[in-house]
Structure 1
C-alpha cells in the first residue's frame, strides 16, 4: 500500500527511524509480464474500458508503480538511502472463479464503483473465469523488490 503514501515524507520518516546501516525493503506485485501472454487479461480488458485505472497499475501513459524503476530508486536516493539493484521476479498466480472475484474486489478501481457496478463487474469476471477458462485462471505476475540502506 506504499503507493498510496507520499513517498518523500514516508521515506524520510523510515530513514529517520532506522539505525545506521539499517535497511528498508519495498515491494509490489504487478499484474502482467510483457514477455508472456495473458489470456484472462485479454478476455476481460473490455470490462474495464470505462473505469479509471488503479493508481498502482499504470496505463498507456505511465508504467505500473512497481515497475517505474527510475522513480522508485530516485525517491529512495533523494531521501538519503543507498539503493541496491532492484529485483524483478516473474511468477504465475492460479485462481478459481471465486478467487478471481475476491481478488478483483480488493482493487481500488473496483472498490470505488457503486455497489451495483461493482457487483456486475465481479459477476462478469467470475463468469468468464468459469465459462471460458474452465474454472482455472492463470495470471502473469511480476514482483518488484526495492531494497536500500541508511548511510552509516
Structure 2
C-alpha cells in the first residue's frame, strides 16, 4: 500500500464520525460469539484494539465485560468521538498511529482490528501485535465487505458507477479484494509467527433509507478519494437510484470475514505453508 493510502487511512474517516457511526452496521453477533468461544473474549480479558474508528466493535467488546481495553486510534477527531460516546474506566484511548505506539510485551489476552488493519503494513504490524500478546493469546482481525459474493440487488444496480471510478483489471486474473483473500491473510499470520490461523465468513443484511445509505457511501475510501465535485455527482446518482428503483428502502447484504490466530505457548519458527490449512470458505 502506498504512503498516500496510509495517510488517508489515518485521517480520511474522521470528518463526520457521528453520522458515519449511525450509517455503519454493527458486526454480526456470530462474530462476537466466535471471539468468546475461540479467543476467550469475556470477563477478565485484557484487550488491545487497533483503529477503533467510531467504536462499533469497541462498544461490543466492552459489553462482553472485559477487564480492560486499550484502543489505539490515529485520527484525533475519532479519538475525541470515542472519549465522548464511550466514557468508561475500562477503556483507555490512545491517539497515535499503531506504528508509533509502544505496547508492553506479553501482556494482552486478545488483540483485535475491526475493518482497519489494511491500513497497517502487514508484517511489521502483525509481529508487533504478536509480541504484545501473552503466550497463548489470540489475535483477531476482520472486515465487512458489501455486495461482493452475495445476492445484493443494489450492488448490481450501481456496479456501473463503481466501474467508472475504479481501475479496470488487466489481462492477468485479478486478486480477490484484500479482506476476502483468505490465502494471503492466513499466510501473513503464519509468517508473523502465529499458529492455528483460521478464516470464518458471516453474512447478514441491513435495511437503509436513502439518506443513511448516502452517508454510508460518503465514507467509503474509494469515494473519499474523488474530487469534491465528482464525489457529489457520484452520491447524487446513488441517491437517485435508491429513490427511483428501490423506493428509498434498500436492503444491503454484507459479508464479514474474520481471521483469528494464536500466539503459541512456546515459540517455534513460523511455517508459512501451514497458513492455507485453516481456511474455511462459505
- If the length of structure 1 is used for normalisation, what is the TM-score? 0.89
The equivalent position to 2:130 in structure 1, one of 15, 18, 23, is 15
Residues paired across the two proteins, number:
145
Q: Compute the displacement of 1:33 (Å).
A: 4.7
Q: Deviations over 1:84-114 (max 9, x none)?
A: 4311001112211011111111111100111
Pair 1:98-2:211 in alignment: yes
Structure-to-structure mapping, 1:1-150, within 5 angstroms: 1-34=116-149, 36-52=150-166, 61-150=174-263
SS in 2 for 1:142: strand
Helix, strand or coil at the partner of 1:85:
strand
Q: Which runs of 5+ in 2 are unaligned?
A: 1-115, 168-172, 266-282
What CA RMSD, in Å, does the superposition of the two structures yield over aligned residues? 1.4
Checking the alignment, whether the CA contact within 8 Å between 2:136 and 2:263 is kept in structure 1 is: yes
Distance 1:110 1:90 in 2: 24
Q: Give the number of the structure whose alpha-carbon radius of gyration is greater.
A: 2
TM-score, normalisation: structure 2: 0.49
Which structure's relative contact order is higher, taking Cα pairs within 8 Å and 6+ residues apart?
1
Structure 1 segments (4+ residues) deviating >2 Å: none
